Each structure stands twice: as C-alpha cells, then as structure tokens.
A and B are shown apart, each in its own frame.
Chain A
Amino acid sequence: MSAAPAATIHETAPPLRQTPLAALHRELGAKLVAFAGYEMPVSYATGIVKEHTHVRERAGFFDVSHMGQARITGPDFETVAVAFERLVPGDIAGLKPGRIRYTQLLNDEGGIIDDLMATREADGHSLFLVVNASRKEIDFAHIAAHLPPSVTLAPLPDRALVALQGPDAARVLARQMPEVRALAFMKAAPFDWRGKAVFVSRSGYTGEDGFEISVPAAVAEAFARSLLAHPEVAPIGLGARDTLRLEAGLPLYGQDMDETTSPVEAALDFSIGKRRRRDGGFIGAERVQRELDEGPARVRVGLRLDGRSAARTHMKIAAETSETVGEITSGAYTPTAAASIAFGYVPPRLSNDGTSVAVEIRGAFQPARVAGLPFVPHRYVRKA
C-alpha cells in the first residue's frame, strides 16, 4: 500500500506554526498535519466520516485560527469602503453596520489573489477581514500597498478564530451568549464572553447554520473548552471541513482557484455587486466585466460521478467525444451526498446541469454529469 497524500496537505517545511489551541488538539487525540505552515488537526479519534456526519446532524467545533484576521480603519466608513473597493469586486460601500460580504482580492489580470470575508463593524467605521491562512502575508502586503495614507490595515495576530457549525450550533452558543440568536446569516456583532470581547459572525464553510467567533488568543482555550463541554459538540478536523465545503459547493483557494482564475470562471459572479459590474473601478475589472458580458473561457461546475471512485485534483475531464475539455480541482466520495462528487473547470457549452462528461481515473473514463451546486442544500438561518 502506498498512499498519495491529499493535495491540500503538505508534510514539508518545518518548523510549523501552532495555533493557541495546539495543546488542546493533542489532548483531544488529533491526528496533526502540516497545513499552510501550521500544525493543524486533520481529524480526531473518530475519523473524517463520523466528524462530517456529526456536523450535519449536531454541532462541530473547528479551530481555524490559522486564518488571517485584520482590521482596516479610516476617518469614516466611506473612505474605507472607497479604498477597499479598489481591490475587490464586491459591494463594500453598500454594507450596513454588522453585515458581512464575501468577496475576492483581484490582480491586474482579474485573477484571484485570495477570497475573503469582509465585515463592516458595528461601530460603522472599520472593516474586519478574514483571509486564507496560506495567503495572509501576500494579502496583507497587497492591501497595505494599495491603501491611501488615511486608511490603515492592522493584522490581528493575537486573535484566535473558532467555528461552531451544525443544526445545534445556535442552541449551544446561545447557552453562553443568548443574544447570538438575533444574528441572521452573514451578520456579525461584538459580544461579551466572561468579561472578554469576542466577535461573533453567523457564517461558515460547511453549508450548515453556524458561527465563526474571533476571540483573544489568551482566552481561546477556555472558550474552546466551554463549547466542547456541551454534549452536542465534537471537535472536527480539516479533513471533514474539506468534505463539508465540497458538498456545500464552496471553492477552496489554492485548489479550486488561483491567480489565473477569475471570479466569473470560479462561478463566484453572485458575489459581484450590480453597481460594481456596471461601474468597474476595481483592479482586474476589465477582464471581469468582459467575462460577465461575453462569458468566460472556462467555468467551475459541480460533477457527480457514477460509482464510488473519487475524482482527484488534476484528473482530466473529457467530453462525450472523449476530447479533454478540463480538469478536476477538488473531489471526494462524501458522506452526506453518499456519492463521488467534484468540482472541475469545463467550457461554458458543457456547463449546463445534466451534461454528460467523463473523468479519467487511473486510465479509465468514469461517466459523470454536471450537477447544480450545492450538492447538499444549505441550511443557513437567513431570518433570525
């Protein structure tokens, strides 16, 4: 037996950074791997499938402290929004206090430098950002280089980030902070937890209802233990996080998109505001507007394969005529879909739901059909 490691996990380049919860992961029996320069739990004692199912049925606790957190501040929100809108195609100026926007940093060619969450803080004057671990240094340098003197970026390395995801997440978190129930999906607010300021967002990366909570690193372990003490909650590793986000139709930076991929190609055009489409005015707008008008050369689609064999990153996608038309970027046999599902890029003419294609797995062509995303319906709580 010889196993090829999963594409997202690299066991190289020590020394690894640790999150404030490293000791807790060990105590919980985590299988630790290197991910984006951090030592992170890929799974705990029960394994990926049980963890995945637990999140869909109860509530899962995730340490995502490796992700980058930062705050952009300026004299007023308009100045901050104008400055940040130069870097992203999302509607930032239209954000109300306490609202979250999903958007992307773009390069001059319209390629994605990273995708991120931007929240207009309740004070109204600043933006709170959460970016990918593997990209945070690049992102922060890029942002800082493009802000006017009156607007500043402050990374928040002394904060941990945890997620609580699943149908029981709101019930559990409300036992500690009853007012979190009032947050709807993609809203955020500061809360007091045992005298410490924590920042709670109703958002996530699983397709389930849930929260992401930014806490001071010094209280991260106490906060994590308080969540794990509830019988509904189990710790969940990066392995299940990956199968959950795949079922939810959510792309992963570095795997499903990179600096050559535009947001239109990555099927993220839903996140580009109407005003931004019309007026442009952001780095990379030329390509984005052209692709919105004329269509992109390739587009990310969901694929559902016959049989149980998984489509893996870089496997070829073939049309019925057997010509190669694209490549798989993510894929797995996942527990809730109970099917072999994947993301891949195909020409737009082959992107309609139900289109028959094939994936080349170990030299054989496995039949597959283009499937609408998400594979498993989202269960976000839009009205709290």
Chain B
Amino acid sequence: MTLIKYTEDHEYISVEDGVGTIGITDYAQGKLGDVTFVELPKKGEKVKQGQPIAVVESVKAASDIYSPASGEIVEINETLNDQPDLINREPEAGAWLYKLALSNTAELDKLMDRDAYLAYASAEG
C-alpha cells in the first residue's frame, strides 16, 4: 500500500516498501511558475529530515527543497536535467525529484495527509 504525506514547504513523499519518492506538489509548481533548472542530489548521499537537498529554479526565483524524511538517496530523476519543465506538467507523477531509502519511518507521522495538506495550501492562497 502506498502512503503519501506532505510538508508545510510543499514537498510530497510517496512511500512504498520503505522507499520514499519525493517531489513538489502541483500547488507548489503553480506558485513557482515556469521551472528552468533543477539541482538534484547525488545517489548515495545521506540526508536528514528537513535538510535542504535540492533546488528548483523558475524564471522568477530559486527555491530550496527540504527532504521530507531521513535516509539514503537511491535514485535521482535524471530526466529533469534535460526537461526541468516536466515539473510544471506532471509534478506529482513523472517529475519526482529523488528516491530515498527511509531510515526512520516514524518521522512520517509529523507530516500532513492529503486532506490536511490541501486545506493548508488553500489557506495559504
């Protein structure tokens, strides 16, 4: 079964068999506007929950991506190097940023579920 959780910084993490797939939400890509560049972490890199791990740049600004969970990076989405605008087209599907072997699944309890996130994002306007 897939578990999907969300952060207050508009990242999502979709967890299956102890591996989390991380990206930014559709709301976030809409706020950013046209994405022009993505700086991805390296495979094998270890990351802690809340640590800045990637950068998404739009025409307007550069935004840090904070890891929703701790663990080791097992895969990065190389497609984004050539097609950063995929983030605008399918942020919560093909444009995931990296996959993480989770070291502490209990951390996910601190994150929001989909309903809570949607309420949070709509309150932000």
Contacts and interface: CB of A to CB of B under 8 A. Distances in A.
A1 B63 contact: yes
Interface in B1-59: 9-11, 24, 28, 31-34, 36-37, 39, 55-59
Interface in A277-316: 307-310, 312
A49 interface: yes
B93 interface: no
Given A309-B57, A310-B57, A362-B55, A4 B63 contact: yes
A62 interface: no
Contact of B64 (A2, A5, A243, A340): A2
Which of B39, B55, B60 has the largest count of A CB atoms less than 10 A from its CB? B60
A358 B55 CA distance: 20
Contacts of A243: 59
A7 to B, nearest CB: 9
A1 B54 CA distance: 9
B31 A3 contact: yes
B43 to A, nearest CB: 19
B123 interface: no
B64 A332 contact: no
A43 interface: yes
A43 B84 CA distance: 20
Nearest to B10: A1
A48 B66 contact: no
A310 B36 contact: yes
B61 interface: yes
Contacts of A49: 34, 59, 85
B65 A3 contact: no
Given A309-B39, A310-B57, A362-B55, A4 B62 contact: yes
B59 A3 contact: no
A6 interface: yes
Contacts of A2: 9, 63-64, 66
Contacts of B37: 307-310, 333, 340
A239 B57 contact: no
Contacts of A332: 36, 59
Contacts of A48: 33-34, 59-60
A312 B34 contact: no
A3 B36 contact: no
A362 B88 CA distance: 23
B11 to A, nearest CB: 6
A47 interface: yes
Given A3-B31, A310-B37, A333 B61 contact: no
Interface string B59-95: 1111111100000000000000000110010000000
B98 to A, nearest CB: 14
Contacts of A5: 60-61
A312 B62 contact: yes
Contacts of B9: 1-2
Contacts of B85: 49
Nearest to A243: B59
Interface in A1-57: 1-6, 9, 42-43, 47-49
Nearest to A312: B62
B60 A6 contact: yes
Which of B59, B64, B66, B84 has the largest count of A CB atoms less than 10 A from its CB? B59
B59 A1 contact: no
A47 B33 contact: yes
A239 B59 contact: yes
B65 A1 contact: yes
A243 B36 CA distance: 13
Given A1-B11, A1-B24, A48-B33, A333 B63 contact: no
Contacts of B60: 3, 5-6, 9, 42, 48, 239
A3 B32 contact: yes
A362 B56 CA distance: 13
A9 B36 CA distance: 19
26 contacts: A1-B9, A1-B11, A1-B32, A2-B66, A3-B31, A3-B58, A3-B60, A3-B63, A5-B60, A47-B88, A48-B33, A48-B34, A49-B34, A49-B85, A239-B60, A308-B84, A309-B57, A310-B36, A310-B37, A312-B62, A332-B36, A332-B59, A333-B57, A333-B59, A362-B39, A362-B62
